[in-house]
Amino acid sequence: MSQEYRLSSSEEEYLEAFYTKREGKAPVATTRDLAECLGVRDASVTEMLKKLSEKGLVRYTPYHGATLTEAGLKIATKVKRRHRLLERFLVDICGIDKHESHKQACDMEHVISDKALDNLSAQLGHPATCPGGSAIPEGEKGGETEVSKLSEMGKGAYTIRFLTSSEPETISRLCSLGLIPGLTVKVVRKIADGPIVIETKDTQIALGKDVAESLLVSPERAAKEPGRREGAKRVPSHATSS
Amino acid sequence: MVKRPSFLRRRETAPEKAHAAGASGNRAPNTSSQQTKDTAPKKIALIGNPSAGKSAMFSQMTGVNVIVSNIPQTTVLVQRGLSRIDKHNVIVYDLPGVYSITAVTEDEAATKEFLLSTPLDAVIDIVDATRLERNLYLTLQLLELDLPVVVALNQVDLLKTLDLDIDVADLERELGVTVIPTIATQGEGMRATLEAAYRYPTTERRAQRRVEYDDHIERAVAAIIPLLPETDLPKRGFAVRLLEGDKNFASRVDARTLTRVNELRDEVEQAHGEDAAITIARGRHATADLVANAVLVRRVHKPTLAERFGDFATRPRTGYPLLVALVGGMLALIFFVGGYLSDLITTFFGDVVFPPFFGLVDSQVANPFITSAVHSTFLALAAALAIAVPYILIFFIFLAVLEDVGYLPRVAVLLDRQAHIIGLHGRSLIPLLFGYGCSVPAIMATRALPTRKERIITTILITMIPCSARTAIILGVAATYAGVPYAIAIYLISVVLIIASGRLLRSVVAGRTAGLVLEIPLIRRPALVPIIKKTWLRMREFLYIAVPLLIVGSIVFGWLDLTGLSRLIEAPLAPITVGILGLPAFTGICLIYGVLRKEMAIEMLAIASGTFIFSTVMAPAQIFVFCLVVTLYVPCIATFGVMVRELNWRWALGGALFTITLALVVGGFAYRALLLA
């Protein structure tokens, strides 16, 4: 399906770096950022950005930096998903330590096929986070990888992808309530042009419109009920290795 | 056993004590406090998430009455109380509720500061059983700082209605600390909790739960630990806090270490592409999730009536009408029931008590100063009972019910959008609503607001809100003696002025506001005892402070009148009272008394004019202007004091001048408009 976009390993690494940046709070990556992140020279970055820009994967403005296009984000998300799922696999199944798993996943992520990855995800029980705790992006099902502002969402369940608020108080409060990337929340009430009420960890929390706008979410991939059912102990999917 | 001299005995127990102090994370910079430990009472602190039930537990343990609400962040100051175990005194502290030890608001900062600076023998972590996973986040943070934690698993009675069950033994095993199920509002488990805390750590110390962070964090923590200075703080916890960017901890290390920490943090952030604080928070939440899932059993759950009511209250289509009905209902209740009681009391005193009593006093005592004082005292008592008590009491009962039910945070949700008009968020509406009760606790409640700008705006607006004392004036005087439309007009004018002032302050006050992030508590059935208790606590303040003040004020007033000195005070005020506002001259002194307490303006009016039937001494327009001015002008002295403490002199004076000007302008304008009409 997306084989037409199968890129070189280094191209994929670049897009992945963009994704990581974005996951923080920086949608724009400068040449310097990327050079540092990937450990290459500035000049190579500039060259690569031009190449990616020609393929329509990044929007590149010399001296300003670059952002991912929609197509670019799609691929970047996919690469990241491969990386993190593979880490999960290496740690949980192969018993490799977390640091080593990162290195190996970096190599494996460029060669594994989509089908193999989807099956692997299923085998692992569709884990939500990598061994490091970062969210594993969703698989491409009906192109649902798009993120949108939580404020624009109706009732339903969503996974938080990015926190983009610029207020330290808000970020800090969200963190202590657990509203961080990777968490699934349920929108239970929405007041037109006003706050929304979400439910998570058995708690209802009201978020002002501005706060909800700063949370980027994607629809949740599968209904995941936390907590163990009566009688049956459930092993949490993102348990850190024992 | 042979009785040994006391110093030997003390010596014998010293190592054990030192161990206890060490394990309890004694943070005292000097060790002198340890030497006095044998005789000094043990110190135990209560900590927990907002609305987990700390205050209820505190008053159960110590008998100190504190106001307990179903509103997150009710306690804004550290409260201290005494309790006894085995004939030993124990000092119990009630700390403001926090979601984590990362301080966002001022009350949270108070909790963190206290925890880090006070040597404690035990910390009782109150965990809301209905919100286990989220509450465990704080527990894990406490354990990370090596604090002597005992967990009180509170509100276990509510688990059943939510179709949840928690395996307490499992939870103890998972956390490695003592866990005691409690129902703080009913006093269940209090004794056991306090004893467990008192005996800490005599129960064998188990391996406590430790948060395993992601590899990058763990490596950075390992790199930081050797750099840390020798303190009483646990190194791992210290290192994690530094990595998180906690300023309080950063101030405890030298510049070189800090530079290295910043480098390490950059590396972690580089690898994860997000704030290290978020990565660390994720680690804790994952562990909390793990623990919660291991001990929590869920059954199929159907929404209860209470949950459906909560839903009803925030759905705009039903929520707004409910809000209007409640506010309207409350005002009507105060007006009719309060008015009825007020009438009853006035008649009782005026017709039954005073004539024979005053006749008796006048015939027996010759000294006019004494008879005047006696008259004044009883008039003041009657005024307090007749005017203030019925109105204020009913309001406080109403407020207590709304608080306990958990309704107020839902109002914040409904009105968040409207609050933006005045530059605030829905969160600010809760202190503002408290302002309809009394400005002082309302201003204290602003501590829970995240930014200073919001605190300043909310505080100044609170002083303009008709508090229950002013409600007594508006309903008891304006509505009764000038007419209901006049009373409604005062409310409308105050709302318009608050909106206008809010808009003005929004652009004048420097700083910024942070968005609304507010926990919505469960709807609870109000219980009679806490409501009576809370209402009594609030009324007590009125009875103990206001009534003596009123009596003294009334006696002095009587004497001023007797000696003719009152004209000396009224005269300089006449240009304002008579000139600008068109009021009778005797209102000048009432306005001065109103600064002491708002409702005194009206009580003194009754004393100054010699009647409760104000319509016989003032025209409806004058009553209206008087009530309007009293509602708006200058915060009362207690409010002013709390403004100075919570903001500073400049803002307090500025706020006072602003409201005085506003009152005179609006009052003068209203008087002239009514003259034309």
Partnered with residue B242 across adjacent β-strands are none
Interval B159-176: pLDDT, tens: 888 889 999 999 998 999
The strand ranges marked E within B444-577 are: 517-520
CA distance B353 to B343: 14
Q: Which of A38-42, A103-107, B66-70, B623-627 has the lowest mean pLDDT?
A: B66-70
**What is the structure's pLDDT at B70?**
57
Q: Which two tokens stand for residue B134?
A: 């989220």
Q: Which two tokens stand for residue B274?
A: 């997000």
Between chains, do B416 and A24 touch, taking CB under 8 Å as contact? Answer: no
Closest by Cα among B144, B73, B59, B78 to B117: B78
Q: Which two tokens stand for residue B152?
A: 């009180």
CA distance B630 to B615: 17
The sign of the torsion formed by the CA atoms of B211, B213, B217, B220 equals positive
Tell me the residues of chain B between 568 and 627 that have a Cβ less than 8 Å away from chain A.
none
Between chains, do A173 and B133 touch, taking CB under 8 Å as contact? Answer: no
CA distance B458 to B444: 11
Closest by Cα among B326, B12, B419 to A209: B419
Higher pLDDT residue, B34 or B112?
A: B112
Higher pLDDT residue, A25 or B540?
A: B540
* Cα–Cα separations (whole angstroms), residue B372 to A220, B365, B591, B640: 78, 10, 22, 32
Closest by Cα among B148, B147, B155, B157 to B49: B155
Band (pLDDT 50/70/90 cuts) for residue B74 is low
- Tokens 């409350």, residue located: B330
Flag whether pLDDT at B142 surpasses 90.
Answer: yes
Between chains, do B272 and A24 touch, taking CB under 8 Å as contact? Answer: yes
Interval B433-446: pLDDT, tens: 888 877 887 887 78
For residues A140 and A2, is the Cβ–Cβ distance under 8 A?
yes
**CA distance to partner chain B, nearest, from residue A134 (Å):** 8
Interval A128-151: pLDDT, tens: 778 877 888 876 553 445 688 898
Residues of B in contact with A98 (CB under 8 A): 214-215
Band (pLDDT 50/70/90 cuts) for residue B15 is very low
Higher pLDDT residue, B247 or B19?
A: B247
* CA gyration radius, chain A: 19
Interval B277-302: pLDDT, tens: 888 998 999 899 989 989 998 888 88
Closest by Cα among B69, B108, B76 to B538: B69
Between chains, do A131 and B214 touch, taking CB under 8 Å as contact? Answer: yes
**Interchain CB contact of B306 with A (< 8 Å):** no
**CATH classification of B6-199, choosing from 3.40.50.720, 3.40.50.2300, 3.40.50.300, 2.40.170.20?**
3.40.50.300
The superfamily (CATH) of domain A148-219 is Ferrous iron transport protein A (FeoA) (2.30.30.90)
Between chains, do A194 and B216 touch, taking CB under 8 Å as contact? Answer: no
Flag whether pLDDT at B51 surpasses 90.
Answer: no
Closest by Cα among B450, B516, B497, B489 to B623: B489
Q: Which of B164, B275, B417 sits opposite A191 (nearest CB)?
A: B417
Higher pLDDT residue, A202 or B263?
A: B263
Residue of B nearest to A190 (CA): B315
Between chains, do B102 and A176 touch, taking CB under 8 Å as contact? Answer: yes
Partnered with residue A209 across adjacent β-strands are none
Q: Which two tokens stand for residue B160?
A: 């059943």
Give the residue from B111, B429, B516, B524 with the most A CB atoms within 10 Å of its CB, the best one to mutate.
B516
CA distance B378 to B163: 58
**What is the structure's pLDDT at A228?**
39
**CA distance to partner chain B, nearest, from residue A238 (Å):** 7
Between chains, do A171 and B275 touch, taking CB under 8 Å as contact? Answer: yes
Q: Locate CATH 2.30.30.90 in chain A.
A: 148-219
What is the percent of chain B with per-residue pLDDT over 90, rounded to a whole number?
Answer: 21
Distance between start and end Cα atoms, chain A: 38
CB atoms within 10 A of CB B395: 26
DSSP assigned state of A138: P
Flag whether pLDDT at B3 surpasses 60.
Answer: no
Between chains, do B214 and A193 touch, taking CB under 8 Å as contact? Answer: no
**What is the structure's pLDDT at B203?**
53
Between chains, do B314 and A210 touch, taking CB under 8 Å as contact? Answer: no
**Interchain CB contact of B407 with A (< 8 Å):** no
Flag whether pLDDT at B480 surpasses 70.
Answer: yes
Q: How many helices (H) and strands (E) does chain B have?
A: 33, 9
**CA distance to partner chain B, nearest, from residue A69 (Å):** 19
For residues B234 and B148, is the Cβ–Cβ distance under 8 A?
no
CA distance A41 to B178: 56
**Interchain CB contact of B161 with A (< 8 Å):** no
**CA distance to partner chain B, nearest, from residue A90 (Å):** 14
CATH topology (fold) of B215-295: Helix Hairpins (1.10.287)
Flag whether pLDDT at B204 surpasses 60.
Answer: no
Tell me the residues of chain B between 314 and 343 that have a Cβ less than 8 Å away from chain A.
314-316
Tell me the residues of chain B between 416 and 445 that have a Cβ less than 8 Å away from chain A.
416-417, 425-426
**What is the structure's pLDDT at B458?**
93
Q: Locate CATH 1.10.10.10 in chain A.
A: 1-140
CA distance B546 to B596: 9
3-state SS string over B309-346? HHHHHHCHHHHHHHHHHHHHHHHHHHHHHHHHHHHHHH
Q: Which of B215, B297, B518 sits opposite A98 (nearest CB)?
A: B215
Helix (H, G, I), strand (E, B) or coil at A161: strand
Cis bond leading into B201, ω under 30°?
yes
Q: Where are the alpha helices (DSSP H) in B514-615?
A: 528-541, 547-563, 566-574, 587-596, 598-609
**CA distance to partner chain B, nearest, from residue A35 (Å):** 12
CA distance B1 to B450: 59
Spell out the residues 6+ positions from residue A184 whose beta carbon is closer than 8 angstroms to its own: A128, A157, A158, A159, A160, A200, A220, A224
Between chains, do B292 and A133 touch, taking CB under 8 Å as contact? Answer: no
**CATH classification of A1-140, choosing from 3.40.50.880, 1.10.10.10, 3.10.20.30, 3.50.50.60?**
1.10.10.10
Mean model confidence pLDDT for chain B: 82
Closest by Cα among B88, B106, B166 to B459: B106
Q: Which two tokens stand for residue A129?
A: 């986070």
Q: How far is CA B300 from the centre of its chain?
A: 37
Tell me the residues of chain B between 492 and 531 that have a Cβ less than 8 Å away from chain A.
512, 514-520
Band (pLDDT 50/70/90 cuts) for residue B65 is low
Residue of A nearest to B130 (CA): A202
CA distance A96 to A94: 6
Q: Which amino acid is at B292?
A: A
**What is the structure's pLDDT at B646?**
82
Could you give the ipTM of this predicted complex?
0.77
For residues A215 and A195, is the Cβ–Cβ distance under 8 A?
no
- Tokens 């623990």, residue located: B291
Burial environment of residue B351 by CB neighbours within 10 A (0 to 12, 13 to 18, 19 or more):
exposed
**What is the structure's pLDDT at B22?**
37
Band (pLDDT 50/70/90 cuts) for residue B593 is confident
Q: Which of A133, A225, A229 sits opposite B283 (nearest CB)?
A: A133
Flag whether pLDDT at B135 surpasses 90.
Answer: yes
Residues of B in contact with A197 (CB under 8 A): 314, 413, 520
Same fold for the pair B6-199 and B215-295: no
Residues of B in contact with A194 (CB under 8 A): 413, 416-417
Flag whether pLDDT at B7 surpasses 70.
Answer: no
For residues B45 and B90, is the Cβ–Cβ distance under 8 A?
no
Domains of chain B by residue range: 6-199, 215-295, 316-515+533-676
Flag whether pLDDT at B16 surpasses 50.
Answer: no
Please compute the mean of the pLDDT values over residues B62-70 and round it to a whole number: 65
**What is the structure's pLDDT at B202?**
55
For residues B434 and B441, is the Cβ–Cβ distance under 8 A?
yes
Flag whether pLDDT at A108 surpasses 50.
Answer: yes
For residues B554 and B84, is the Cβ–Cβ distance under 8 A?
no
For residues B440 and B642, is the Cβ–Cβ distance under 8 A?
yes
pTM exceeds 0.95, yes or no: no
